[in-house]
């Protein structure tokens, strides 16, 4: 029986890269609007070069960019950050069907958790911006264990807080080496978020199940067994005539 489902956050629940691209676009436009003399393309490339050096969560990307090109007027930094923040709120969207699927899982008595490598503040901001925070009883972010997936600690902490065993739990994620391998090593079921990944369609994820949309999960949990089985529409109709 499945009692809990753990979700990776970025590119599993929310389309993180789409949001990041929209935010960088907006920040570059805003800096050009206040006088940045550089092509949109060149500025964008420089910003992504900084991200690839310091990591995609790097919070001082615009400080570094402006330092690099010797633009010290604080208006440029303020324009970039302000545009980035406004755009983030609008563009951090759940994948189609995510909220409906989470509701269906809750109806079945399944506990939901997030296990993310993102810093705690950023993980919570994305959950709240996407309107998903209300669905999760447990959120394990980087600072909670100080360990990244596939280390066992983040998975173990989430299961301990939800009072479930690995054999009662499914891990959903878009990163085979971190999300799938880490969970599988502990004996959890694994489901690969194929819809959120950039990896080649033909490449094996190593997961027990493949999800082409999150909603595919419902049939899987119903098959494995859930705490509160949901009666099918057809059962209802039959009962009406009894
Ligand atoms: Mg991910």
* Distance in Å, CA 172 to ligand 1 centroid: 9
* Distance in Å, CA 174 to ligand 1 centroid: 5
pLDDT digits (tens, 9 = 90+) for 83-136: 999 999 899 999 999 999 999 999 999 999 999 999 999 999 999 999 999 999
**What tokens appear for 45 in the block?**
């490339």
**What tokens appear for 62 in the block?**
């615009």
* Distance in Å, CA 227 to ligand 1 centroid: 28
* Distance in Å, CA 104 to ligand 1 centroid: 22
> What does the pLDDT read at residue 237?
58
**What tokens appear for 27 in the block?**
């920040």
Q: Is the pLDDT assigned to residue 43 strictly greater than 80?
A: yes
* Distance in Å, CA 9 to ligand 1 centroid: 6
- Beta strand spans in 60-158 (E): 111-115, 138-140
DSSP three-state, residue 113: strand
* Distance in Å, CA 36 to ligand 1 centroid: 33
What is this structure's pTM?
Answer: 0.86
Assess contact for 60 and 84: CB atoms under 8 A. no
Confidence of residue 204 (pLDDT cuts 50, 70, 90): confident
* Distance in Å, CA 165 to ligand 1 centroid: 23
* Distance in Å, CA 8 to ligand 1 centroid: 6
Q: Is the pLDDT assigned to residue 233 strictly greater than 80?
A: no
What is the largest distance, in Å, between two alpha-carbon atoms of the chain?
A: 79
DSSP three-state, residue 65: helix
* Distance in Å, CA 226 to ligand 1 centroid: 26
- Work out the angle between the directed axes of helices 61-68 and 74-91 (0-180°, nearest 10): 140
Confidence of residue 228 (pLDDT cuts 50, 70, 90): very high
Confidence of residue 236 (pLDDT cuts 50, 70, 90): low
Confidence of residue 231 (pLDDT cuts 50, 70, 90): confident
* Distance in Å, CA 234 to ligand 1 centroid: 37
Assess contact for 3 and 137: CB atoms under 8 A. no
* Contacts with 110 (C-beta within 8 Å, 6 or more apart), sequence order: 2, 3, 4, 5, 221, 226, 227
The domains located in the chain, with CATH, are: 4-15+95-234 (3.40.50.1000), 16-91 (1.10.150.520)
* Distance in Å, CA 116 to ligand 1 centroid: 8
Average pLDDT of the segment spanning 141-150: 97
Arithmetic mean of pLDDT over the chain: 93
Assess contact for 91 and 18: CB atoms under 8 A. yes
* Distance in Å, CA 66 to ligand 1 centroid: 29
* Distance in Å, CA 73 to ligand 1 centroid: 36
* Distance in Å, CA 155 to ligand 1 centroid: 14
* Distance in Å, CA 67 to ligand 1 centroid: 31
């Amino acid at each position: 029986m499945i009692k809990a489902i753990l979700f990776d956050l970025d590119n599993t629940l929310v389309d993180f890269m789409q949001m990041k691209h929209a935010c960088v676009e907006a920040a570059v436009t805003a800096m050009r609007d206040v006088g940045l003399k550089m092509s949109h393309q060149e500025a964008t490339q420089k910003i992504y070069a900084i991200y690839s050096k310091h990591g995609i969560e790097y919070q001082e990307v615009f400080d570094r960019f402006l330092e690099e090109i010797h633009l010290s007027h604080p208006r440029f930094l303020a324009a970039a950050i302000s545009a980035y923040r406004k755009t983030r709120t609008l563009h951090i969207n759940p994948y189609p069907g995510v909220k409906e699927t989470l509701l269906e899982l809750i109806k079945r008595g399944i506990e939901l958790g997030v296990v993310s490598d993102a810093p705690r503040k950023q993980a919570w901001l994305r959950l709240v911006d996407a309107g998903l925070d209300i669905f999760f009883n447990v959120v394990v972010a980087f600072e909670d264990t100080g360990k990244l997936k596939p280390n066992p600690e983040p998975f173990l902490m989430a299961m301990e807080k939800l009072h479930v065993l690995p054999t009662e739990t499914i891990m959903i994620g878009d990163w085979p080496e971190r999300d799938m391998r880490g969970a599988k090593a502990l004996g959890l079921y694994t489901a690969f978020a194929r819809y959120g990944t950039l990896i080649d369609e033909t490449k094996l994820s190593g997961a027990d199940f493949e999800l082409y949309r999150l909603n595919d999960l419902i049939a899987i949990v119903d098959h494995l067994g859930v705490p509160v089985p949901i009666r099918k529409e057809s059962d209802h109709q039959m009962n009406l005539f009894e």
